[in-house]
Structure 1
Amino acid sequence: MRPLSAGELRGVWATVLLPIRPDESIDSDRLGRALDHVLGAGVAGVYTNGTAGEFHTLDEAEYDALHVLVAERCSAAGVAFQLGASHPSGQLSLQRIRRAATLRPGAIQVVLPDWLPLRPDEVLAAVDRMAAVADGVPLVLYNPPYAKTRLEPELFGRLAAAVPTLVGVKVPGGDDDWYARMADAVGGRLAVFVAGHTLASGHRRGAAGAYSNVACLNPARAVRWYEQMCTDPEAALDLERRLRDFLDAHIAPLARAGYSDPALDKTLAAIGGWAPIGTRVRWPHASVDEAAVPALRAAAVAAVPELLAA
């Protein structure tokens, strides 16, 4: 597909969740069925190998096979796609970027090397090298809350000026002051993506979209909610409030018990029940017991029925 620009990068993007067998292999049949559902849900695009996609557990053969599958299916369906080339090792990330670029996605998603914190000049050097090996494919930089190196808006502005093929970032977001600083720093050169469950309030402040955990719950209904943000922002904010209350009451306790983000996102997909993904995650992380899902689904239906409808 053709490269995405910052102005084109917006809306709800859905991750590719990995159905895992008891022997920890990827179930390709279930993966294909889940991907087909996402491609028919109306999302702005599909992306691979974010945190929810368990990129840190994939060997290189699995990484390449997944990307060939996603590139072929998305191209056939006419749906935009981004490929994640993240790895805690910067050197291995460069190798993944080179291979992802050959499939010509709309963008390649990356993280900063993550064993040690980076100085600002090292951040600039890291992203510049990643862009150089991407062969003209744009980059999107993930900077999640648990990253060793957390960037402030002003450093994002320096990156946008120094690396023209950096077109977007995924960040936790912030308060009104943070959004104002971000707008001043990046000047529209980067599409700012935030967490899916904060998108209504983020959209009102200038966020372009989400690589969305709400799409894990129900991709089609996440898209409908985004459309509501554009047509009825007050109703969309009310839904965000109820969604946050549900997450605080029922998903946050699982996080406090030590379950990883991939385990939580797969639990959301199990609650939504739209594809046979299951709650199993790869070693060494623990999986949420599927026996907990019916009660969680009932709570979600009570709190946010708009996001659980077929």
Structure 2
Amino acid sequence: MLPQRPSPFNGIYAATLCPLHPDGRIDEQTLARHLEANAFVPGMTGLLINGHAGENFSLSREEKLRVTQIAAEVCGHHSVLVCGINAEDSHEAQRHVDDAKAAGADAVLLFPPFSWALSQDTRMAVTHHTVANANAQMPLMLYQAGVNAGTMAYRPEVLAELAQLPHVVGVKEGSWEAAAYEAHLRLVKRVAPHVAMMASGDEHLFTCFAVGSEGSLVSLAVVVPELVIELDAAIRAKDLDRARALNDRIYPLAKAVYGTAPGGWATARLKTCLKLLGRIPHDTMRLPIGPLPRAEVASLERALADAGVHA
């Protein structure tokens, strides 16, 4: 549900996970509790469902629709629901966007297809976004991929053209590099000042919030939602000492989850954190990602303790 205020999409969003049973099926009861617990944290604007952390690349179309339906049932009356769309084919992406609208999402976040890491030209990105949203014409967020994601990351001229498309309301800026973030922020504000720039590099939220941001769609907020919300508020209040203290708690956890190789284990690490905290019963991932090694689990236990987070 969109709040009745100017710039309704601005704010902090938890990029939620998709709890699974040990056999790989979606654990719908745990999913509902997970969504509700994050949606009702004071100061949380909304949820990003079916994002990368929600394993959108491994869920079927039907499963992603079900996740959206559950989110709408549990917290759609309270939260802004942004549904991630990840499809290689533009018409398949269109079907997923149509599903998201029918299920009750307020906006969609369109991820660049993984195949674009190998090749992408300027028109592909514009065509993909235009076709995907042709029927639903929903509020649309862009995803700026990381600097190490090959040609999935939009060149400045492509990002500028995308930001000016109809229905675009925000950018989940995941460059994972603070200088790139600032350059993209300045670019988007020059060509489309109404589009919200959402800082989403978990390892440098402090830096990006300080440079300027309208919020964040970030998966670390499912583990430490209060800390992320407080960090954003401290920066906006120009309370630098408070912001630094919060960053000192967030940073080691962000490094343990995202700044440790292999990067593909990040979602598994998030699930293990929630299991260690007693928030989900299983940290099951879709294969080929299996259980984390004991050393990884121990590292996450230390990072949670350093962040002052306990079961």
Q: Deviations over 1:170-224 (max 9, x none)?
A: 1234445751453244432321222234222111212222211321222233222
1:199 equivalent in structure 2: 205
Of 226, 231, 240, the residue aligned with 1:225 is 231
1:151 equivalent in structure 2: 154
2:269 equivalent in structure 1: 264
Unaligned runs of 5+ in 2: none
Give the secondary-structure state (helix, strand or coil) at the position aligned to 2:141: strand
Give the secondary-structure state (helix, strand or coil) at the position aligned to 1:256: coil
Aligned equivalents of 2:2, 2:178: Cα separation in 1? 34
1:32 equivalent in structure 2: 32
Alpha-carbon offset, residue 238 of structure 1: 4.4
Of 148, 165, 168, the residue aligned with 2:167 is 165
Aligned equivalents of 2:194, 2:62: Cα separation in 1? 35
Q: Could you say what the CA RMSD is over the residues aligned between the two structures, in angstroms?
A: 2.8
Amino acid in structure 2 at the alignment position of 1:48: I
Q: Is the 8 A contact 2:16 2:222 kept in 1?
A: no
Is the aligned partner of 1:215 residue 2:227? no
Q: Within 5 Å, give how 1:248-259 maps onto structure 2.
A: 248=255, 250-251=256-257, 255-257=260-262, 259=264
Alpha-carbon offset, residue 98 of structure 1: 1.2
Q: Is the 8 A contact 1:114 1:147 kept in 2?
A: no
**Greater length-normalized contact order (CA 8 Å, ≥ 6 residues apart):** 1
1:54 equivalent in structure 2: 55
Q: Is the 8 A contact 1:84 1:108 kept in 2?
A: yes
Amino acid in structure 2 at the alignment position of 1:282: R
Alpha-carbon offset, residue 309 of structure 1: 6.1
2:182 equivalent in structure 1: 179
Unaligned runs of 5+ in 1: none
Aligned equivalents of 2:274, 2:150: Cα separation in 1? 25
Provide the TM-score with structure 1 as the length reference: 0.84
Aligned equivalents of 1:274, 1:234: Cα separation in 2? 32
Q: Is the 8 A contact 1:3 1:106 kept in 2?
A: no
2:282 equivalent in structure 1: 278
Give the secondary-structure state (helix, strand or coil) at the position aligned to 2:115: coil
Of 231, 238, 246, the residue aligned with 1:239 is 246
**How many residues in Structure 1 have an aligned counterpart in Structure 2?**
301
Aligned equivalents of 1:184, 1:79: Cα separation in 2? 29
2:69 equivalent in structure 1: 68
Identity over aligned pairs, percent: 21
Provide the TM-score with structure 2 as the length reference: 0.84
Amino acid in structure 2 at the alignment position of 1:44: T
Q: Is the 8 A contact 2:141 2:168 kept in 1?
A: yes
Cα separation, partners in 2 of 1:189 and 1:252, compared to 1, 3 Å: closer
Aligned equivalents of 2:107, 2:39: Cα separation in 1? 18
Alpha-carbon offset, residue 294 of structure 1: 5.6
Give the secondary-structure state (helix, strand or coil) at the position aligned to 1:140: strand
- Stretch deviating more after TM superposition (223-232 or 163-172): 223-232
